[in-house]
């Protein structure tokens, strides 16, 4: 019996070209066996046409299911009409190839794959994980359709190839859109400092509602930085937050972080954009109106404004004071974060000066516990947002 199975697997066959015309495919179209009798439960269709049709059927379903999962997030999670429409168009184009004769070859009862599973399929760590899984599912299915479609219809194979490229573009655009949307929604920014229990402190802050983290480490070797950045990225994504890497574009890429924050002495924003692409976030530190103007003109996604107060994090740097915060209120056209010496005592003055977003280091990194301090900052920033929104409506 084993020998017969082996013979069947290795027996050479001639290339099969299946015309789309159902009249040329009597067995696959009718569900009949070579003998002319209807297949029973113990003898499913085994013609080459039926086998290839089953592959096409399964992967047409797989691709459309993956796209539908993505479409639901674009529609209800992001309220993004353009991406929702692209998902819908791709599903409908695939549906045009899902003909009755391909569906007729389906044989779920005898499909050994229905019993196969993997532990990673049983859970999703985050929305990003869910989307990534369904993009992979869709892209793999389209590749299968492209290859096996060549045995059925060259037009179908070519169409699936182009759809695969469109899904790649959609994934890149959606990832970038989500990152920038999260940035727009983030009002508190934690910049880390070296502590022994870094991951525990950051997770505690994330539990308090933090949405934006910058990994800042000046002393560790590159391998340690990359390893830590990867751990932080996974942790942040689990809480639907962003991870930005300080200074190092290469480490941001290696860790698949959401972006990089550049100082005035670091590489240009243009060069960083060439390396990172348009989907990742690039921030720039500024301490003067001219640096602000230049950063915005060069295409920064956000800027830091400060140091507002003297801080050991920027030892030797003169504080710019609340005057620069007030300048940013009137002139900044992108998201900006007041930074430098901001804590529970100084926050009120910074908000009174007009700031909406703040970045902190010691106030949270040295808090006990970080969760409560994070909740304090989030609640104060949210309260200011509510008050200003009400004032704007009344005006």
Report, as residue numbers or ranges, the catalytic residues. Answer: 216, 285, 314
CA geometry: angle 304, 310, 316, nearest 5 deg: 95
Cβ partners under 8 Å of residue 234, min gap 6: 125
Helix segments in 115-221, DSSP class H:
127-149, 154-185, 198-207
What is the rounded end-to-end Cα distance, in angstroms, of the chain?
A: 84
Instruction: Please count the other Cβ atoms lying within 10 Å of the Cβ belonging to residue 319.
Output: 16
Structure tokens at 141: 């299915």
Q: Which of 375, 391, 319, 380 is nearest to 351 (CA)?
A: 380
Q: What is the DSSP letter of 109?
A: G
Number of H helices, E strands in the chain: 16, 8
Helix, strand, coil distribution of the chain in percent, nearest 5: 60, 10, 30
**Alpha-carbon span 14 to 288, nearest angstrom:** 73
Cβ partners under 8 Å of residue 294, min gap 6: none
**Alpha-carbon span 281 to 186, nearest angstrom:** 13
CB 139 within 8 A of CB 133: no
Q: What is the CA radius of gyration of the chain?
A: 28
Q: How far is CA 317 from CA 4, 55, 264, 309, 312, in A?
A: 80, 65, 13, 10, 9
**Alpha-carbon span 115 to 334, nearest angstrom:** 51
**Alpha-carbon span 140 to 160, nearest angstrom:** 11
Q: Check whether the bond before 307 is cis (ω within 30° of 0).
A: yes
């Amino acid at each position: 019996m084993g020998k017969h199975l082996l013979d069947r697997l290795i027996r050479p066959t001639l290339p099969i070209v299946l015309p789309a015309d159902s009249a040329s495919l009597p067995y696959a179209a009718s569900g009949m066996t070579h003998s002319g009798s209807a297949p029973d439960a113990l003898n499913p269709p085994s013609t080459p046409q039926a086998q290839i049709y089953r592959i096409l059927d399964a992967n047409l379903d797989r691709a459309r299911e993956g796209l539908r999962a993505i479409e639901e997030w674009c529609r209800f999670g992001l309220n993004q009409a353009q991406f929702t429409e692209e998902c819908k168009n791709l599903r409908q184009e695939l549906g045009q190839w899902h003909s009755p004769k391909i569906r007729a070859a389906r044989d779920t009862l005898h499909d050994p794959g229905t019993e196969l599973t993997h532990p990673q399929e049983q859970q999703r760590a985050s929305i990003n994980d869910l989307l990534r899984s369904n993009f992979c599912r869709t892209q793999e299915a389209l590749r299968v359709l492209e290859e096996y479609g060549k045995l059925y219809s060259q037009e179908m194979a070519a169409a699936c190839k182009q759809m695969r490229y469109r899904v790649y573009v959609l994934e890149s655009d959606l990832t970038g859109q989500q990152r920038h949307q999260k940035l727009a929604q983030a009002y508190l920014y934690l910049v880390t400092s070296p502590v022994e229990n870094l991951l525990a402190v950051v997770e505690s802050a994330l539990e308090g509602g933090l949405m934006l983290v910058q990994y800042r480490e000046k002393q560790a070797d590159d391998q340690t930085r990359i390893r830590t950045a990867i751990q932080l990225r996974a942790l942040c994504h689990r809480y639907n937050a962003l991870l930005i890497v300080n200074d190092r574009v290469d480490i941001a890429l290696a860790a698949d972080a959401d972006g990089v924050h550049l100082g005035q002495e670091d590489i240009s924003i243009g060069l960083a954009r060439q390396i990172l692409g348009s989907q990742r976030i690039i921030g720039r530190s500024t301490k003067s109106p001219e640096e602000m103007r230049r950063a915005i003109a060069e295409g920064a996604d956000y800027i830091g404004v400060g140091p507002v107060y003297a801080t050991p994090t920027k030892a030797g740097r003169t504080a710019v004071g609340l005057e620069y915060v007030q300048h940013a209120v009137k002139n900044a056209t992108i998201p900006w974060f007041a930074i430098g010496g901001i804590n529970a005592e100084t926050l009120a003055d910074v908000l009174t000066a007009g700031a909406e977003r703040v970045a902190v280091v010691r106030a949270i990194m040295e808090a006990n516990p970080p969760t409560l301090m994070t909740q304090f900052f989030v609640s104060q920033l949210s309260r200011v947002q509510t008050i200003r929104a009400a004032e704007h409506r009344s005006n």
